[in-house]
Amino acid sequence: MIPGVDRLLSRPWCHELIAAYGRPWITDRLRAVLEDIRAGRAPVPSGDEGLAALVNAEVTRALSPSLRRVVNATGVVLHTNLGRAPLATEARRAMTAAAGYGNVEFDLDSGARGSRYEHCVHLIRELTGAEDALAVNNNAGAVALALTAFASGRGVAVSHGELVEIGGGFRIPEVVEAAGARLVTVGTTNRTRRGDYERAIAAGDVGAILKVHRSNFSISGFTEETELEELVALGSASGTPVIHDLGSGLLVDAGALGLPREPTPGASVAAGVDLVAFSGDKLLGGPQAGLLAGTSAAVARARAHPLCRALRCDKVTLAGLEATLALYRDPDRVRERIPALRMISAPREELMRRAEAVLAAVAGRGAGLRRALRAEVVAGESLVGGGTFPDARIPSAMISLGAGEEAERWLARLRAHSPPVIARRRKGRIVLDLRTVAPEEDGVVAAALAALGEAIRAGAGGGGGRD
């Protein structure tokens, strides 16, 4: 017989919970547990201790935040579902400091009201060569703001081959439409020439030329596209603003990271665009933000638009972004200071050594654990992710587990670890790519694998391999 809520509230163990969390909330937790038992969603407890364990587990579950730290062992550096770029230590420190009061919109020199749009501007100008700059909440917002400010109620000329879809199903045509503009497609999927843009402008009422960097897919073969410099010349001759949606926002030479050539915001500014839009949270390695850099007149027009206020950044984001941008002042050390850049450039040999050390730590936690996991270190390939470098494969090292038909159950156990370890499945095996695991997290991975090995041994047993 399961006691009722009133009787359970009189239990000593329940008194402790009430003292910590309050009677109304604990009453709700008790009702939830009893409902789960009656509905068969929870086992019928054996005695008061079993019931107390169920209630404590429900309290722990309810108190757990929905947004939690995880260990990314997928090998996708800019994993959108896992928050894209991990932040540098300097950015985390700055964001914590900014969580209290700060001079977000206060001029410390005059004591008068200031502008949040002044923060980060000097660094963006310094790093891109732009006359002025503006930070908003993400790159899609930056593009939407630019289009709204320059082409609302008018046409936007975009190459047919640049009508990309970004994450979450958002598409360039929809962004143009949301800006209150009319999409004017020019050229074809594989070939778009300057004359295609000229004819669109001559036809009338084109408020802006939008060039979109195809960062998440590539087109090869019989292709042709109009270079940015040509579009700038056309825009200057016709009085049509040119907006470049760059997307990822890489501020260092891609070749130094072992990656194919990638356009940079500085190159767009040097080409003479009115505005270039790029992300703060992808290859730049900062918090989620969208940056607009360009001419003073163009940035002023975007800043003055009412939509700008709706897209503005929070104080914590501005602090993290500023700290991240400041790291780029030292080009010799930035690849080590920005975690995403460090992960991308880490050599396979180093990752191999770390992977072997992790498995040695697993073996050291108990005889037969590595054998139970059927674990080995193998070569593999990582991805940059985040809708960037679609054709790039980075040589990497992985820990491979022989899960077979139990792969989903093993993955779930790794996700249930604290903190969760997110791996991926490949051809009946589970792989954990050390490229996206910070060195200080190697111990977490070893502990998660050891716990998984112990669970396997306690259940179906082990097999294969050797420690």
Phi, psi dihedrals of residue 430, rounded to the nearest 5°: -105, 135
Average pLDDT, the chain: 92
pLDDT at 463: 40
Percentage of the chain beyond pLDDT 70 is 97
Residues 6+ apart with CB under 8 A from 390: 215, 216, 217, 218
Residues 6+ apart with CB under 8 A from 416: none
Which is nearest to 456 in space by CA: 358, 370, 356, 378?
370
The H or E element that residue 158 is part of is: strand 155-159
- The burial of 393, by beta-carbon neighbours within 10 Å (0-12 exposed, 13-18 middle, 19 or more buried), is given as exposed
pLDDT at 219: 74
Look at 215 and 385; give whichever has higher pLDDT: 385
Q: Read off the pLDDT of residues 99-120 as tens digits, 9 standing for 90 and up.
A: 999 999 999 999 999 999 999 9
Average pLDDT over residues 282-291: 95
Distance from C-alpha of 152 to C-alpha of 55, rounded to nearest angstrom: 56
Which is nearest to 340 in space by CA: 379, 389, 276, 293?
389
Give 389's pLDDT tier (boundaries 50, 70, 90).
confident
Distance from C-alpha of 14 to C-alpha of 79, rounded to nearest angstrom: 42
List Cα–Cα distances, 411 to 137, 138, 425, 429, 434, in angstroms.
34, 32, 8, 10, 16
Q: Read off the pLDDT of residues 183-208 as tens digits, 9 standing for 90 and up.
A: 999 998 889 999 999 999 999 889 99
Q: Read off the pLDDT of residues 29-54 as tens digits, 9 standing for 90 and up.
A: 999 999 999 899 888 888 889 999 99
Distance from C-alpha of 240 to C-alpha of 35, rounded to nearest angstrom: 65
Q: Read off the pLDDT of residues 396-411 as tens digits, 9 standing for 90 and up.
A: 999 999 999 999 999 9
Q: Which residues pair with 244 in a beta bridge?
A: 211, 276
Judged by average pLDDT, the poorest of 139-153, 158-172, 260-274 is: 158-172
The H or E element that residue 442 is part of is: helix 442-458
**Which two structure tokens, joined as six digits, stand for 10?**
């009189």
Distance from C-alpha of 186 to C-alpha of 194, rounded to nearest angstrom: 10
Q: Is the pLDDT confidence value at 455 over 70?
A: yes
pLDDT at 461: 41
Q: Read off the pLDDT of residues 366-375 as tens digits, 9 standing for 90 and up.
A: 889 999 999 9
pLDDT at 1: 66
Give 467's pLDDT tier (boundaries 50, 70, 90).
very low
Give 58's pLDDT tier (boundaries 50, 70, 90).
very high
Cα angle 72-74-79, degrees, rounded to a multiple of 5: 70
Q: Is the pLDDT confidence value at 464 over 50?
A: no
Give 19's pLDDT tier (boundaries 50, 70, 90).
very high
Domains in the chain and their CATH numbers?
5-62 (no CATH), 71-78+344-458 (3.90.1150.110), 88-337 (3.40.640.10)
Q: Read off the pLDDT of residues 213-229 as tens digits, 9 standing for 90 and up.
A: 876 667 777 878 899 99
Highest mean pLDDT among 49-58, 155-164, 317-326: 317-326
Cα angle 427-430-432, degrees, rounded to a multiple of 5: 125
Helices (runs of H) and strands (runs of E) counted in the chain: 20, 14
Sign of CA dihedral 459, 460, 463, 465: negative
Residues 55 and 2 sit within 8 Å (Cβ to Cβ): no
pLDDT at 102: 95
Residues 435 and 382 sit within 8 Å (Cβ to Cβ): yes
End-to-end CA separation in angstroms for the chain: 49
DSSP code at position 312: B
Predicted TM-score of the model (pTM): 0.90
Percentage of the chain beyond pLDDT 90 is 78
Radius of gyration of the chain (CA): 27
Q: For the chain, give the longest Cα–Cα distance.
A: 86
